[in-house]
Amino acid sequence: MSLKEKTKRYLNKKCKNSIEGKTIVITGATSGIGLKAAEELLYLGANLILAARNKEKAEEIKQRLIEEYKDSTIDIYPLDLASLDSIKKFATRIKRNKVDVYGFVNNAGVFSGKNRTIDGYPLVMGTNYIGTFVLVERLLPYFMSLSHEVKLINTSSISYKSGKMNYNDFFFEKKKKNAFQIYSRSKLCLTKYSIYLANKYMDSNIKTIMTHPGIAKTELLLNMFKPWYMRIFKPVANIFMTPEKASLSIPYALTEDVRCGSLIGPNHLFDGWGYPKINKLAKKAYSEIEQLIVYTKGIVKKDI
Ligand SMILES: NC(=O)c1ccc[n+]([C@@H]2O[C@H](COP(=O)([O-])OP(=O)(O)OC[C@H]3O[C@@H](n4cnc5c(N)ncnc54)[C@H](OP(=O)(O)O)[C@@H]3O)[C@@H](O)[C@H]2O)c1
């Protein structure tokens, strides 16, 4: 574990507003970017709730983290974004335990997978978009009941720029597409939903911010090189950012004074590399947002 000295210097210098003693919930902290973000938040003195689907893996990570960050509290709450029942139980637990949420980081995500979620949605759209949508909708009234600001951080991806909407085949069930096109749509939907939230709750205590990690060498990215025609490109992954650098947009979003609806991420080399900054959102992120929200609520209305 342990952060590099360079990362610590960055965090000491850039993270202006203290999060010491504040509670931050983070999904997908058992691997890659989420794991490093968790460590960076602990370094800054936060208490964490790791929302994880794999209890054993999360317990093992908790033990490793707590050895180094002894003054912080780390709890594990089960959450499988591919199960609406699990999402409901998780949200109920947050409310029942009156968790004083300062920041909620929706970081978990998948790149590909042929399976379906427990509720029958194709895995990538079902996890990255539908699961996150239902989770957030279930928690919003609770967040609003808190007497302080709640920072809601949604992890997008530069791939949203390649995403295309098609409500005649929202889940790609009629016409098969490659994994990248499916993943890109899931992140475009999440980006549009985040802008919707930022606008709708602008005058409330909920501050929605988007982050993206650029391109980082994690399990998710390495999955892209699994198809036979991609294997030859796998060595390219070595030039991508480390998860430790790519994750910095998360502490940045939680500690800097950024406007609701901002996108934070690297902005060198086509937004794929570098330290976090405020990025410009592509025009397509702002179009037909209402249509997406009405459509999504139509699908999940009994679950939110
Ligand atoms: N890596 C990149 O270059 C890149 C670029 C743009 C955006 N992103 C985004 O960054 C986020 C983190 O990705 P990563 O690269 O760090 O990938 P990763 O190493 O594969 O980590 C993904 C995390 O999500 C969790 N997860 C997956 N499905 C889940 C589910 N159904 N319920 C709960 N948790 C689930 C995983 O849990 P397990 O440990 O149990 O598998 C893991 O902790 C994702 O949203 C991804 O789309 C990554």
Encoding tokens for residue 298?
A: 């139509």
Q: How does the average pLDDT of the chain come out, rounded? A: 95
Q: Is the beta carbon of 212 within 6 A of some atom in ligand 1?
A: yes
Strand spans (E) along the chain: 23-27, 47-52, 74-78, 101-106, 150-155, 206-211, 263-268, 273-279
Please give the structure tokens belonging to residue 186. Answer: 């899931």
Q: Which of 10, 69, 183, 193 is catalytic?
A: 183
Q: How many CB atoms lie within 10 A of CB 201?
A: 18
Per-residue model confidence as pLDDT tens digits over 141-193: 999 999 999 999 999 999 999 999 999 999 999 987 889 999 999 999 999 99
Task: For residue 111, give the ligand 1 atom closest to its CA.
Answer: 47
183 in active site: yes
Q: How do residues 54-109 score in pLDDT, each as one tens digit?
A: 999 999 999 999 999 999 999 999 999 999 999 999 999 999 999 999 999 999 99
Is the minimum distance from the CB of 136 to ligand 1 under 6 angstroms? Answer: no
| Beta carbons of 303 and 86 less than 8 angstroms apart | no
Q: Using one digit for the tens of pLDDT, what is the confidence trace for 282-293?
A: 999 999 999 999
Query: Is residue 214 within 8 Å of residue 158, measured between CB atoms?
Result: yes
Report how far ligand 1's centroid is from the alpha carbon of 147 (Å): 31
| Statement: residue 232 has pLDDT above 90 | no
Is 252:14 a contact under the CB 8 Å cutoff? yes
> What's the average model confidence in pLDDT over 214-224?
90
* Most ligand 1 atoms within 8 A of CB, residue of 55, 106, 155, 218 to mutate: 218
Instruction: Please give the model's pTM, rounded to 2 decimal places.
Output: 0.96
Which residues lie below 8 Å from residue 176, measured CB to CB, with a gap of 6+?
none
Take atom 36 of ligand 1 and give the residue whose Cα is closest: 28
Distance 107 CA to ligand 1 centre (A): 7
The atom number, within ligand 1, closest to the CA of 27 reads: 34
Distances (CA, A) of 101 to 60, 84, 94, 159, 206: 24, 21, 9, 29, 11
How far apart CA 112 and CA 178 sit, in angstroms, is 9
Query: What is the average per-residue pLDDT within 223-236?
Result: 83
43-49-51 Cα angle (round to 5): 125
Chain centroid to CA 1: 21
Domains of the chain: 5-303 (3.40.50.720)
